[in-house]
Structure 1
Amino acid sequence: MMGFVKRSLVAVSMAALAVGAAQAADMKTVAFVPQIIGIPYFNAMEDGGKKAAADLGVKFIYSGPTDTNPVDQLQIVQTLINQGVNAIAVSVLDASSLEPVVAAAKAKGITLFTADSDAPASGRLVYVAQATDRGLGFTIIDEMVKRVGPNATIGIVSGEATASNLNAWIGFMKERAKEMYPHLKLLAPQFAGGTAERADQIASDMMTAHPDIKGIIGVASTTCPGVAQAIETAGKIGQVIGTGYCSPNTVRSYLKSGSFGYSVLWDPTALGYLTVWAGKQLIDGTPFKASNSVPGFAKPVTYDAKTGILLLGAPAVFTAGNVDNYHF
């Protein structure tokens, strides 16, 4: 009798393993290829992707280049296509070179889309966007006015003068000020070329040339430490509000010291989750709606059928009170 029970248990166990193996074989796979691996921002997207995969019952692959080399990134994408991955999302390094791999994926029945960084002319099916340029420009001005009032003088320290995304954000800052705060004085942008040291010097010079200045915006993440340091060195904490488009890890100490009043960006963990969710929808053939309910998201995620953009939502605002909730 005992031998029969043992044989029965073994048979049940083998059957369970067979069912588990079949389920694993049937599990669809969503891959995400970041611009570079090993940095906090994309690590956070990876974490969000892993959580989404567990919640949605898909396999998640995270694979990217060790430096920002478009050729290496495209080779990784091609490898995933050759492996027959069901859906592949790419944070694009070189928009002009993505079209051939989009076509290669389509030929094999694989869904290829973009997330975090787009290639709108590539034929990608959807772009999972973190925030709009308009939203980023408007938010940083609205938050500044809350702190310094609608009649203040505000300085702008950007990165490279040729950076299209930074210039777009500045353009929307100006638009918001003109429409909503006509007495707000935005000084002409100064360009630090991507170095904190240069941003420090520019911000210091701004405070000397404009004693009435109430706020300084660092438009590139590399300029944020320089702006904060200039405010601290000048002894202007509480008198001049620093801010910028900076990750929590970059400005955590400055938010806590008061040299930065806030920082504007987005939550890459949520972006990673949304990316995998979008991949699952595409695999299943489920069309996006104008307004989509995503598990764990407090607000609906919007989709613009004309542009093919699935939008995470409004930018996130980080302050001394909430910055320790984020680790990127």
Structure 2
Amino acid sequence: MFNRITKTLTISAFTLVTATAVFAADKPKVAFVPQLVGIPYFNAMQDGGNRAAKDLGVDFVYTGPVDTNPVDQLQIVQSLIDKGVNAISVSVLDASSIAPVVKAAEAKKIKLFTSDSDAPDSGRAVYVAQATDQGLGNTIIDELVKRVGPDAKIGIVSGEATASNLNAWIGFMQEEAKIKYPKLTLLPPQYAGGTAERAAQIAGDMMTANPDLKGIIGVASSTCPGVAQAIETAGKIGSVIGTGYCSPNTARSYLKSGAFGFTVLWDPEKLGYLTVWAGKQLVDGKSFEAENKVPSFDEPVSYDAKKGILLLGPPAVFTADNVDKFNF
């Protein structure tokens, strides 16, 4: 309990200092609240947000919880609302609890939207999506089946049980398996929270309990190292294929060791850029078009007006052969 209180106080102090420093400038303020600070994936989103802020003439506020705690995340969002940030984006940890802060933001004429993880029924202004949930779920199953066969047994190690994006991807994995690979066995997902250590323990226990296991999927970026390390520790390289949604830098050594056969993701630096661009559009009162030209993007960014989703693009597959072409 003491540690949790200490963390919360630390977060609040950091938010206050960051907001005070940024609010001194007379520019639109766009914030992003990740699920967890201090990991490569969200660090890359922060880099993209900083780049966009420089290009677009806005102030970018980046602050989030030190562990994957929905209560801490909502406190940070509320603090940003109280400080009067013009637009706030959130990678949602608990989709069921964010609607009240959306209303609180609306009451102060603040644009609150989601990025990376959605809360579609919350009333958010827009969702900046890295790829479609269906595309991500289908891609990881299709690629894994190429390596383990259509009748294999596969385990799933996810992050927080309440994370809407992770649950959506798992749902489409299960749907793809049922429709396309009826002999494939997907074990019920297990949840590691935000720690690689817990993911490693779960993955190790999973392999012990299922000696015929052929693959393990790390659904959260924070669980990928734990899954890979468990495969290496168990001496299962080659007999159990690991994969997950994690950045090339996180997965590089595991792809090269063979613990991971591939990973599926997108460019989080570009997602961070697109998030700040979307916030600037909302602050300026500009609507999204079906196809949007975003500075520094080679291809137009599509917008689904019916669902309120701004889509970065299709997922990418990283392997030992191409991983060194990327640095995020």
Q: TM-score, normalised by structure 2?
A: 0.76
Matches of 2:27 and 2:263, distance apart in 1: 40
What aligned pairs does 1:148-227 form with structure 2 within 5 A after superposition? Answer: 148=148, 151-159=150-158, 166=166, 168-181=168-181, 185-194=183-192, 195=198, 196-206=200-210, 208-209=211-212, 213=214, 215-221=215-221, 224-225=224-225, 227=227
The answer to whether the 8 Å contact 2:90/2:114 transfers is yes
Cα distance per residue 1:122-170 (max 9 Å; x no partner): 3221111223321111011222244456x45242233479666555434
One-letter amino acid matched to 2:185: L
The answer to whether the 8 Å contact 1:174/1:186 transfers is no
The offset of 1:51, in angstroms, is 0.5
The answer to whether the 8 Å contact 1:192/1:199 transfers is no
The answer for the alignment partner of 2:134 in structure 1 is 134
The answer for the alignment partner of 2:53 in structure 1 is 53
Matches of 1:38 and 1:99, distance apart in 2: 26
The answer for the alignment partner of 2:243 in structure 1 is 243
Cα distance per residue 1:186-221 (max 9 Å; x no partner): 224155542312312322553x336xx4x4434455
The answer for the alignment partner of 2:32 in structure 1 is 32
The offset of 1:178, in angstroms, is 4.5
Q: Any idea what SS the aligned residue of 1:46 has?
A: helix
Structure 1 residues 135 and 80: CA distance shift in structure 2, 3 A: same
The offset of 1:47, in angstroms, is 0.6
Cα distance per residue 1:270-322 (max 9 Å; x no partner): 21111001011112222112222222333332222122121222223222234
The offset of 1:238, in angstroms, is 4.3
Q: Percent of aligned pairs with the same residue?
A: 69
Q: What RMSD over aligned residues (CA atoms) do the two structures have, in Å?
A: 3.2
What aligned pairs does 1:16-165 form with structure 2 within 5 A after superposition? Answer: 27-148=27-148, 151-159=150-158
**How many pairs align?**
298
Q: Any idea what SS the aligned residue of 1:143 has?
A: helix
Query: Which has the larger Rg?
Result: 1
The answer to whether the 8 Å contact 2:25/2:59 transfers is no
Matches of 1:270 and 1:161, distance apart in 2: 24
The offset of 1:107, in angstroms, is 3.2
Structure 1 residues 204 and 76: CA distance shift in structure 2, 3 A: closer
Greater CA deviation, 95-104 or 291-300? 95-104
Q: Please list every run of 5 or more consecutive structure 1 residues that lacks an aligned counterpart in the other structure.
A: 1-23
Greater CA deviation, 50-59 or 33-42? 33-42
One-letter amino acid matched to 2:274: L
Greater CA deviation, 126-135 or 32-41? 32-41
Matched, 1:266 2:266: yes
Matches of 1:217 and 1:104, distance apart in 2: 37
One-letter amino acid matched to 1:189: L
The answer for the alignment partner of 2:21 in structure 1 is none
Structure 1 residues 85 and 188: CA distance shift in structure 2, 3 A: closer
Cα distance per residue 1:89-126 (max 9 Å; x no partner): 22234444433433333333322212223333332211
The offset of 1:179, in angstroms, is 4.1
One-letter amino acid matched to 1:41: Y
Structure 1 residues 306 and 52: CA distance shift in structure 2, 3 A: same
Structure 1 residues 326 and 286: CA distance shift in structure 2, 3 A: same
The offset of 1:39, in angstroms, is 2.9
Matches of 1:156 and 1:73, distance apart in 2: 29
Structure 1 residues 226 and 49: CA distance shift in structure 2, 3 A: closer
Matches of 1:69 and 1:224, distance apart in 2: 19
Cα distance per residue 1:27-49 (max 9 Å; x no partner): 32222222343333222111110
Q: Please list every run of 5 or more consecutive structure 2 residues that lacks an aligned counterpart in the other structure.
A: 1-23, 193-197
One-letter amino acid matched to 1:108: K
Cα distance per residue 1:216-257 (max 9 Å; x no partner): 434455654454345545655445532223343443221011
